[in-house]
């Protein structure tokens, strides 16, 4: 392989040639669009740290889901903002909680759109932690009972997939058992398996008002320094019954995505989280980068690393660009 016999620029000469030999492609039906839903009869409120993203009342949510479906997006993932938060995150597993209402409304309007739910109590607890707190400690086993209960209320409301994001040990198994016992043995679990204790979630916590009131999430989310531990997390979740696994955040963790891809044969999802979204948005608003091209490149790189599915606040933008043949 040497010059001048070989010239790699031969295949880069024009767009059709480049497209012919492209190794990675984005596809609209592998995008999951995250949405925040709140109580109220009408209206929406922009999230100040996530320009272009909103807390939506159900009527506004239905406009978004209808549009996402029209654009060819297969799935949405829902996050709820409750009326009241309490110590044990009660609204999270209330059969008439905001997410449960939202699931029913979406399935009523657009039954073909997949509805995924985030199973975690942090949006619903007054202290903002993903588990039950006792004497400053986040309890594991007590929390997974509640998560199983929460997943069941989502299933009963008509959700298609549940996605536990809490990082308690044993929660996938507990959820699988609770679902199976109630006749939901066909409901898939998308496990947030390698979820890091990341500062890139800050805008989300602003959106969901879920910043921990004391301490941090390092006793349950993973240390950003760890790679091997991610493989153990993934293996455990698969043993417990996960059907798909997730890596989160995405761009700073492409090596983790690749490592998992090389070892397991389950579908892998990657979450381009709120902070990744807001960094691109902020730089674009300042005119420092080209927003559309940065969006496409970042998503393409997540795919190239080995993700099949991408959760992204830019899902609609990507869908539009793909449709326009960008």
List the catalytic residue out of 44, 85, 107, 195. 195
**For residues 41 and 61, what is the distance between their CA atoms, to the nearest angstrom?**
11
Position 274 contacts ligand PBG (CB under 6 A): yes
How far apart CA 205 and CA 207 sit, in angstroms, is 5
CB 147 to ligand PBG: min, Å? 11
Using CB under 6 A, which residues numbered 192 to 211 contact ligand PBG?
201, 204-205
83 as an active site residue: the answer is no
Task: Select the residue interacting with ligand PBG from 31, 73, 120, 244 (CB under 6 A).
Answer: 120
- Over the Cα atoms of the chain, what is R_g? 20
Q: Which is nearer to ligand PBG, 13 or 166 (CB)?
A: 166
Span between the terminal Cα atoms of the chain, in Å? 33
Does residue 65 touch ligand PBG according to CB under 6 A? no
Give 84 or 324: the residue with its C-beta nearer to ligand PBG.
84
118 binds ligand PBG (CB under 6 A): yes
Burial of 111 (0-12, 13-18, 19+ CB in 10 A): exposed
CA–CA distances in Å: residue 114 to residues 45, 100, 162? 24, 14, 11
Q: Does 165 bind ligand PBG (CB under 6 A)?
A: yes
Beta bridge partners of 139: 132
Number of chain residues interacting with ligand PBG (CB under 6 A): 10
- Residue 3 C-beta: closest distance to ligand PBG, Å: 46
- Least Å distance, CB 76 to ligand PBG, is 14
Q: What DSSP letter does each residue of 261-322 carry, written as one string?
A: HHH--S-EEEEE-HHHHHHHHHHHHTTSS-HHHHHHHHHHHHHHHT-SEEEETTHHHHHHHH
Q: Is 195 a catalytic residue?
A: yes
| Burial (CB count <10 Å: 0-12, 13-18, 19+), residue 9 | exposed
Q: Which part of the chain contacts ligand PBG (CB under 6 A), choosing from 85-93, 120-128, 181-189, 231-239? A: 120-128
Assess 220 for contact with ligand PBG (CB under 6 A).
Answer: no
Q: Which spans of this chain sit near ligand PBG (rule: CB under 6 A)?
A: 118, 120, 122-123, 165, 201, 204-205, 273-274
Catalytic residues: 195, 248
């Amino acid at each position: 392989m040497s010059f001048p016999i070989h010239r790699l620029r031969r295949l880069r000469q024009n767009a059709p040639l480049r497209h012919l030999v492209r190794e990675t492609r984005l596809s609209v039906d592998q995008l999951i669009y995250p949405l925040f839903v709140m109580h109220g009869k009408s209206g929406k409120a922009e999230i100040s740290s996530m320009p272009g993203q909103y807390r939506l009342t159900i009527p506004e949510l239905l406009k978004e889901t209808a549009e996402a479906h029209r654009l060819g997006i297969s799935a949405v993932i829902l996050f709820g903002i409750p009326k009241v938060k309490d110590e044990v995150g009660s609204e999270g597993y209330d059969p008439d909680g905001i997410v449960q209402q939202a699931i029913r409304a979406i399935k009523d309007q657009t039954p073909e759109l997949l509805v995924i739910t985030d199973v975690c109590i942090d949006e619903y607890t007054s202290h903002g932690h993903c588990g039950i707190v006792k004497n400053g400690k986040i309890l594991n086993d007590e929390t997974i009972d509640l998560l199983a209960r929460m997943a069941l209320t989502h299933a009963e409301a008509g959700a298609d997939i549940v996605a536990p994001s809490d990082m308690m040990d044993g929660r996938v198994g507990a959820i699988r058992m609770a679902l199976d016992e109630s006749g939901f043995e066909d409901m898939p679990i998308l496990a947030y398996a390698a979820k890091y204790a990341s500062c890139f979630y800050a805008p989300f916590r602003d959106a969901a008002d879920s910043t921990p009131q004391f301490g941090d999430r390092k006793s349950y989310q993973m240390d950003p320094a760890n790679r091997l531990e991610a493989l153990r997390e993934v293996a455990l979740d698969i043993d417990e019954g996960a059907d798909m696994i997730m890596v989160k955040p995405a761009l700073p963790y492409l090596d983790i995505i690749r490592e998992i891809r090389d070892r397991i044969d389950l579908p892998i999802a990657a979450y381009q989280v709120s902070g990744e979204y807001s960094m691109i948005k902020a730089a674009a608003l300042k005119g420092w980068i080209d927003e559309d091209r940065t969006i496409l490149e970042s998503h393409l790189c997540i795919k190239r690393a080995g993700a099949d599915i991408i959760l992204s606040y830019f899902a609609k933008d990507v869908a539009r660009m793909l449709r326009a043949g960008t």
